[in-house]
Each structure stands twice: as structure tokens, then as C-alpha cells.
């Protein structure tokens, strides 16, 4: 039974609906307390003062219902502390085969509501430490212990890793991007109104109210500022208020004011919702640095200082490194521990060793260790238990639905991706129509007809390369969202396939409507429809090949070259330039996997069969004709389209089977696309 139904069964006797409270608690509302289900009356504040809800809990419910509801409430209303003891990460150097300590012996603790900065010079090990704490490293190479509320546990069930890039859909608004994340991250029993409420709340918390309905921005559309984009990206990734948040350099690429605003939003959110936040950061400004509660300063993978941010200055003063007046402490520390530019290598090593040793013997370290001991529960044999939700909040169908809706909006609004292509195809159709204008039914027009069909298929398919930039942009968003477990590969590939159908249909139809009558092809509506259908099939295979190749090599120039090469190659082995029988044995296989061949042959069959062509009259008395095809005795004035196809050896074409071959190729490329994306995740 869903919680919503359970709650409705309770028939509350108060004015305000407790449903909201109970549902909110399911995704971590800190205002919710453990007492929510005790059988005494109580009042509590939910979300904001403006939404003050009071209710009595003398409700009619059975013990069973109570149990189920307990399962859905916020498991950790007071947040989760994160502690790490002697954490290390060691790799084996592939060249020297020697062990290399990337991070070693790091300890620390961050309490709920606190925000910690990991700082250090470039290559110090910040990202590695962040990944270690987030449980993103291969456990075989990891040493030490990660403790959640004092006991070992799986960080991934209670945390979110916010990646550095702002991969958002540029043509969608800030609200739409965050709403998409909400749709996929909240479980199905959280209804639309509640999700929208939560979206509005996080928009306000991140100071995005003013630009909520502005587009993120693309190369064509001026969107929100860099700082707003970063905040929108972070907001969309923490919409469910995970208890622990890891941020990989959240301020990189921003000016100091934008960086400050980003960090301020994060800090306020952490305080308000008792979230534990850890961020790696490069050179924060004085104001941004002052927002942090704790500092973990590392170099060469070792801790040089861990503790309260406020105490760091006096700690280094104690070591004789006074922070000059009016200077930024963060800059001061980073300069102090940066040995990259020391010419003497051993001197540089000694310089860092001094800091490592000083910290090992410091009060700062011993008080950190005693704080960890303090929160360590009596028995370390216990494991941190949290509700281990499935990997995804929504099922396959929901994921596919939300992805399809978003892709549809994206394509409709993305001028570059779609409408420019449609315009280009229509222009090409006009160009072809005027060039092949009313191609006619004389025998000298046969070649023109073939070339019109060849060019229609080949050029339309070739121009599917125009989809590469749009796909690569979307792929970045996919990579981030998949990393955040918004959805799996299957729904993404399915949505991508579904959404390509209407758009490819529009392209095929807009081309056919213009080109077909202008060229003067087989004058029958059903033939025109079949022409359009075959172009549609060819294009959908071409699109599938584009996404497959772009998934294999997600680099624009490389993908473009490879797709162009494949299409060029398919043109060569199609059987148009070189007679099918003359294609060398070595390339025969390519002829059969060539989608252009199946489309071209289907289209010529559709056009030629049923048509009659005129031979050339060569004498008046007696009347004699010269026929290139069919009856060449000179007595016949016409020949059929079938005669032409027979002459070229196209005797076995079956329209249904040829369409099936195209469909099969589309499925094959889509399966390849799916496998590549799956495989890439596993190897990342």
C-alpha cells in the first residue's frame, strides 16, 4: 500500500492535512521529527513559517499501517555525520609496477549542518580524497574506515555526488531542468503538486527565483549567468536533500562574486536541512573561504591540516607562518604548501614533510581523533543501516516517459538540432525539384530517375551528421544524470528512439511533399506515401548510426569524420555506381549491411513498377523504334519499368522484406548504442 493511501485511511480529525507532512518526511524534511507517529498531540513546523501545519496524531490506524509508515519517514532527521579514519588510496604504477600512495592516512569528521572545504595545490589529491569519502573508488585500493554516525556504512545510500560540469538542457528553463530532476528522483507516491512545491523551494533556496523561468542558454539563446547556471545545476542534483553531499569544485570557472553566491546557497541549505557537505575547492576568495566550517588542507595526498576553519590561521601561526595582514588566508595556506615550483626536489619534499610531521604531532589532529572516537558507537561490529532504496527512484516506464517528454521539448526548441535541418531538407527538395523538374517517361530519362532516387537517399542520409552536435550536447547531460542515478541506459535509448520517430517523419514528409511532385515521380498517392516511408526508414537508420558512432567516439570532429566515412562507403557499395554483380567479393558483406542499398532498391521498385516508358522512334516508314529496355526488336514503342529493373538485375526486390531489413538495421544500431553506453559506464 502506498503511504498516501495509508494516510488517507487514517481520517484525521484536524484541519490541516497531515499527508503533506508524512510525504515530506519521506524525502528528508528536517523539520520532521521522530515524534511524528507517537500517539500524543503535537505541533510542528513544516518547510517554512508560511506553511505551518499542526495536527493531532490520535488517528485511527492499525499497528501494521504504523509499521509501514515508519518505513517511509525520514530515517535521520538529525542528519548523518561523516568520519574517516586513516583513509588511503594506493595504486600500482603500470610502468614501474611499484605501489604509489595517492592519498594516505587521512582522518577527519564533519557533522550534520557543517560544510568542509578540501583544499590543496594542483595534484594534491583533492578529487581522490573526495571520491574516497564518497565511496567512488575501487575498494581493493582503499584502506581505512568511513563511518556514518559513528559506524561503518555505505555512503552511496545516503549521499549525492555533485559533478563539476553544468550539463543542463540549454533550451529548457531553470525550473524545467530542476523539475525534470524532481520527476525522476522522487518516488512515485510523491505527487506532482508536492514535487512542484519542492522545486519552488529549492529555487528560492538557491536564489534562482528571479531567473526561474529563463532558459539556461545555448550558443543561440542568451541564458542565465554562469553562477546561476551552476546553482541550477547543483539544485537539480540535490533536490531530494541527500544527507551527505559531495561537491567536486563547485566554484570552478566562476568569478568571485558568483562563486560566493554558489557557496552561500550551499551553506545555507546545509544549515537549514542539517546536511553534511564536503566540497573540493580551488582558491576561494576571502568571503567564500569564510563560509566554510571545516578545512582539510592536503598536499601529496597527506593531511597538512584538518580542523575548524577558524583555527587554521592560528595553527599555521604556531608553525611560524603568520598570515600577512589583509591577505586571504586560503591563498596564504595554498602558497605555503605549494612546492611545485621549488627547483630542488628534495627541498620540496622536505618542505611538505615538515608540515605533515607537524600536523601528525599537533593538538588539531589529536582533537580530531578524539572527536571521531567520541562519535564512534560502542561496537564497531555494527554496520550503519539505512533504507537501501533501489538504484532508481522511478521505474523503467516512468523514466522513459520523463525522458521522452524532455527530449520532445528539447528538440522542438532547439533550432540548431532540428528546425534548421528541416529547412535544409526543404531547400534541398526545391533544389532537386527544379533540377530534375518533371523527369518524364522517355527512355533517356531512366538514368535521371535512378540518380534522383540515389541522391534522395544518399544525401538525406548523409546529412544526418547534422544531428551530431545536438546529440553530443545531450550526451553530456546524460553522463551527468546517469552518474546521479536519475535513470538507466535502457529508458534513455528507448526515449531517444521514440523521439527520433516523429522528427524523422517530419523531415521525410517535408522533403517528399516538395520533391516528389516537382520531380514528377510515379503519379499515384500510394507510391508517394511509400517513397516517403522508405526515406523515413533510411533516415531513421542513419540517425541510429549517428548516435551509435557518436556514443563510441563522443568527440565532434572524430564522430563527424567516421559518420561521413561510413556513409561514403555505403554509397560506393550500394550497387548504383558499380553494378551489384560487379561489387568485389571482399565488399559484398558491406553491400548487405548497407542501409542505403535497401532504401534505394525499395524506392526504385516502388517508382518503376507500374510505369511505362517511351522508346525512341528511329524511322517513320516503316515505323521503327530503338528501345534500350524490354522488346528491342524495333516494333515496340514502349517498355515497362519492370523491364528496366530486370535489365539491371533488380528482379528479387520485395517491398515488405526490404523494409524489414531497414528496420532490422535500425534495431542493430540501437542495440549497439545501448551496449556502448552500458559498457562505457562500466569502464568509467
Q: In the complex, which residues of this chain contact ligand ATP (CB under 6 A)?
A: 91, 102, 120, 122-128
Give yes or no for a contact between 33 and 44, defined as CB atoms under 8 angstroms apart: yes
Minimum gap (Å) between residue 122 Cβ and ligand ATP: 4
Closer to ligand ATP by CB, 171 or 299: give it: 299
Give yes or no for a contact between 599 and 538, defined as CB atoms under 8 angstroms apart: yes
Give yes or no for a contact between 245 and 238, defined as CB atoms under 8 angstroms apart: yes
> By 3-state DSSP, what share of the chain in percent is helix, strand and coil, each rounded to 5?
55, 15, 35
Number of C-alpha atoms within 13 angstroms, CB side, residue 49? 0
Minimum gap (Å) between residue 116 Cβ and ligand ATP: 15
Minimum gap (Å) between residue 124 Cβ and ligand ATP: 4
The three three-digit cell numbers of residue 491, written as one number: 529508458
d(CA 612, CA 447) in angstroms, rounded, equals: 15
Minimum gap (Å) between residue 283 Cβ and ligand ATP: 10
Cα-trace Rg, the chain:
33
Give yes or no for a contact between 510 and 516, defined as CB atoms under 8 angstroms apart: no
d(CA 365, CA 306) in angstroms, rounded, equals: 7
Closer to ligand ATP by CB, 129 or 323: give it: 129
The three three-digit cell numbers of residue 27, written as one number: 524525502
Number of C-alpha atoms within 13 angstroms, CB side, residue 90? 13
Closer to ligand ATP by CB, 43 or 122: give it: 122
Minimum gap (Å) between residue 102 Cβ and ligand ATP: 4
How many other CB atoms are found less than 10 A from the CB of residue 306? 26
d(CA 502, CA 641) in angstroms, rounded, equals: 33
Minimum gap (Å) between residue 120 Cβ and ligand ATP: 5
Beta bridge partners of 118: 280, 296
Minimum gap (Å) between residue 305 Cβ and ligand ATP: 15
Minimum gap (Å) between residue 667 Cβ and ligand ATP: 38
Beta bridge partners of 551: none
Give yes or no for a contact between 247 and 234, defined as CB atoms under 8 angstroms apart: yes
d(CA 684, CA 682) in angstroms, rounded, equals: 6
Closer to ligand ATP by CB, 90 or 451: give it: 90
Closer to ligand ATP by CB, 209 or 340: give it: 340
Closer to ligand ATP by CB, 22 or 299: give it: 299
Closer to ligand ATP by CB, 245 or 539: give it: 245
What are the helix (H) ranges across 325-377? 329-336, 345-360, 363-375
Closer to ligand ATP by CB, 104 or 479: give it: 104
Minimum gap (Å) between residue 103 Cβ and ligand ATP: 7
Minimum gap (Å) between residue 302 Cβ and ligand ATP: 12
DSSP structure string for 192-205: HHHHHHHHHHHHHH
DSSP structure string for 141-177: GEEEEEEETTEE--GGGTEEEE-SS----TTSBHHHH
The three three-digit cell numbers of residue 678, written as one number: 552500458
Closer to ligand ATP by CB, 302 or 596: give it: 302
Give yes or no for a contact between 133 and 155, defined as CB atoms under 8 angstroms apart: yes
40, with CB counted inside 10 A (0-12, 13-18, 19+), is exposed
The three three-digit cell numbers of residue 217, written as one number: 542558454
Closer to ligand ATP by CB, 123 or 610: give it: 123
Closer to ligand ATP by CB, 131 or 166: give it: 131
Minimum gap (Å) between residue 137 Cβ and ligand ATP: 9
Sign of CA dihedral 600, 601, 606, 611: positive
Give yes or no for a contact between 230 and 258, defined as CB atoms under 8 angstroms apart: yes
Closer to ligand ATP by CB, 56 or 136: give it: 136
Omega before 618 within 30 of 0, i.e. cis: no
Closer to ligand ATP by CB, 286 or 338: give it: 338
* Residue 185 parent element (H or E): helix 174-185
d(CA 187, CA 194) in angstroms, rounded, equals: 11
What are the helix (H) ranges across 376-443? 396-413, 420-435
Number of C-alpha atoms within 13 angstroms, CB side, residue 96? 6
Minimum gap (Å) between residue 570 Cβ and ligand ATP: 40
- Which residue reads 595545490 in cell numbers? 121
The three three-digit cell numbers of residue 382, written as one number: 555494527
Closer to ligand ATP by CB, 160 or 302: give it: 302
Closer to ligand ATP by CB, 127 or 313: give it: 127
Minimum gap (Å) between residue 300 Cβ and ligand ATP: 9
Minimum gap (Å) between residue 164 Cβ and ligand ATP: 9
651, with CB counted inside 10 A (0-12, 13-18, 19+), is exposed
Minimum gap (Å) between residue 284 Cβ and ligand ATP: 13
Closer to ligand ATP by CB, 99 or 383: give it: 99
Minimum gap (Å) between residue 362 Cβ and ligand ATP: 22
Amino acid at each position: 500500500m502506498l503511504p498516501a493511501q495509508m494516510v488517507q485511511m487514517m481520517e484525521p480529525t484536524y484541519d490541516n492535512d497531515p499527508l503533506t507532512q508524512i510525504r515530506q518526511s519521506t524525502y528528508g524534511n528536517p523539520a520532521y521529527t521522530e515524534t511524528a507517529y507517537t500517539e500524543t498531540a503535537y505541533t510542528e513546523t513544516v518547510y517554512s513559517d508560511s506553511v505551518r501545519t499542526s495536527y493531532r496524531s490520535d488517528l485511527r490506524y492499525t499497528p501494521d499501517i504504523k509499521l509501514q509508515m515508519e518505513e517511509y519517514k525520514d530515517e535521520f532527521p538529525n542528519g548523518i555525520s561523516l568520519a574517516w579514519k586513516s583513509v588511503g588510496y594506493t595504486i600500482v604504477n603500470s610502468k614501474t609496477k611499484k605501489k604509489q600512495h595517492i592519498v594516505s592516512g587521512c582522518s577527519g569528521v564533519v557533522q550534520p549542518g557543517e560544510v568542509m572545504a578540501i583544499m590543496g595545490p594542483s595534484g594534491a589529491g583533492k578529487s581522490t580524497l573526495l571520491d574516497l569519502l564518497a565511496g567512488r573508488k575501487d575498494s581493493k585500493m582503499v584502506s581505512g574506515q568511513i563511518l556514518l554516525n559513528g559506524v561503518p556504512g555505505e555512503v552511496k545510500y545516503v549521499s549525492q555526488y555533485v559533478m563539476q560540469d553544468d550539463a543542463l538542457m540549454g533550451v529548457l528553463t531553470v525550473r524545467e531542468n530542476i523539475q525534470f530532476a524532481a520527476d525522476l528522483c522522487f518516488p512515485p507516491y510523491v505527487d506532482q503538486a508536492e514535487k512542484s512545491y519542492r522545486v519552488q523551494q529549492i529555487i528560492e533556496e538557491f536564489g534562482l527565483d528571479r531567473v526561474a523561468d529563463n532558459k539556461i542558454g545555448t550558443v543561440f539563446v542568451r541564458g542565465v549567468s554562469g553562477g546561476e547556471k551552476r546553482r541550477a545545476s547543483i539544485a537539480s542534483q540535490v533536490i531530494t536533500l541527500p544527507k551527505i553531499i559531495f561537491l567536486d569544485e563547485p566554484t570552478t570557472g566562476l568569478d568571485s562574486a558568483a562563486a560566493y553566491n554558489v557557496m552561500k546557497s550551499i551553506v545555507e541549505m546545509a544549515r537549514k536541512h542539517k546536511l553534511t557537505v564536503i566540497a573540493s575547492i580551488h582558491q576561494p576568495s576571502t568571503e567564500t573561504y569564510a563560509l566554510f566550517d571545516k578545512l582539510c588542507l592536503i598536499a601529496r595526498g597527506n593531511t597538512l591540516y584538518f580542523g575548524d576553519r577558524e583555527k587554521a590561521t592560528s595553527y599555521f601561526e604556531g608553525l611560524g607562518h603568520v598570515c600577512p595582514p589583509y591577505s586571504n588566508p586560503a591563498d596564504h595556506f595554498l602558497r605555503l604548501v605549494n612546492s611545485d615550483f621549488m627547483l630542488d626536489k628534495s627541498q620540496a619534499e622536505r618542505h611538505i614533510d615538515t608540515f605533515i610531521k607537524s600536523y601528525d604531532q599537533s593538538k588539531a589532529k589529536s582533537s580530531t581523533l578524539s572527536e571521531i572516537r567520541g562519535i564512534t558507537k560502542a561496537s564497531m561490529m555494527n554496520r550503519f543501516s539505512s533504507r537501501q532504496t533501489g538504484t532508481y527512484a522511478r521505474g523503467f516506464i516512468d523514466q522513459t516517459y520523463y525522458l521522452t517528454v524532455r527530449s520532445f521539448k528539447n528538440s522542438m526548441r532547439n533550432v540548431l538540432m532540428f528546425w534548421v535541418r528541416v529547412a535544409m531538407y526543404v531547400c534541398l527538395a526545391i533544389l532537386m525539384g527544379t533540377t530534375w523538374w518533371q523527369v518524364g517517361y522517355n527512355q533517356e530519362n531512366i538514368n535521371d530517375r535512378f540518380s534522383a532516387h540515389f541522391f534522395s537517399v544518399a544525401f538525406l542520409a548523409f546529412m544526418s551528421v547534422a544531428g551530431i552536435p545536438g546529440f553530443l550536447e545531450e550526451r553530456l547531460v546524460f553522463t551527468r544524470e546517469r552518474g546521479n542515478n536519475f535513470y538507466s541506459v535502457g529508458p534513455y535509448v528507448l526515449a531517444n528512439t521514440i523521439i527520433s520517430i516523429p522528427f524523422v517523419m517530419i523531415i521525410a514528409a517535408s522533403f517528399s511533399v516538395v520533391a516528389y511532385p516537382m520531380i514528377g515521380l510515379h503519379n499515384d498517392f500510394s507510391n508517394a506515401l511509400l517513397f516517403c516511408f522508405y526515406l523515413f526508414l533510411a533516415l531513421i537508420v542513419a540517425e541510429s548510426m549517428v548516435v551509435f558512432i557518436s556514443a563510441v567516439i563522443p568527440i565532434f570532429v572524430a564522430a563527424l569524420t567516421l559518420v561521413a566515412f561510413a556513409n561514403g562507403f555505403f554509397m560506393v557499395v550500394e550497387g548504383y555506381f558499380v553494378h551489384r554483380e560487379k561489387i568485389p567479393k571482399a565488399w559484398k558483406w558491406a553491400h548487405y549491411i548497407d542501409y542505403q542499398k535497401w532504401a534505394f532498391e525499395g524506392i526504385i521498385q516502388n517508382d518503376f513498377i507500374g510505369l511505362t516508358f517511351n522508346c525512341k522512334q528511329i524511322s517513320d516508314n516503316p515505323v521503327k523504334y530503338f528501345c534500350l529496355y524490354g522488346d528491342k526488336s524495333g516494333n515496340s514503342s514502349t517498355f515497362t519499368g519492370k523491364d528496366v529493373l530486370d535489365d539491371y538485375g533488380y528482379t528479387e526486390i520485395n517491398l515488405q522484406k526490404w523494409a524489414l531489413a531497414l528496420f532490422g538495421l535500425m534495431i542493430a544500431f540501437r542495440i549497439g548504442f545501448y551496449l556502448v553506453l552500458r559498457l562505457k559506464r562500466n569502464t568509467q
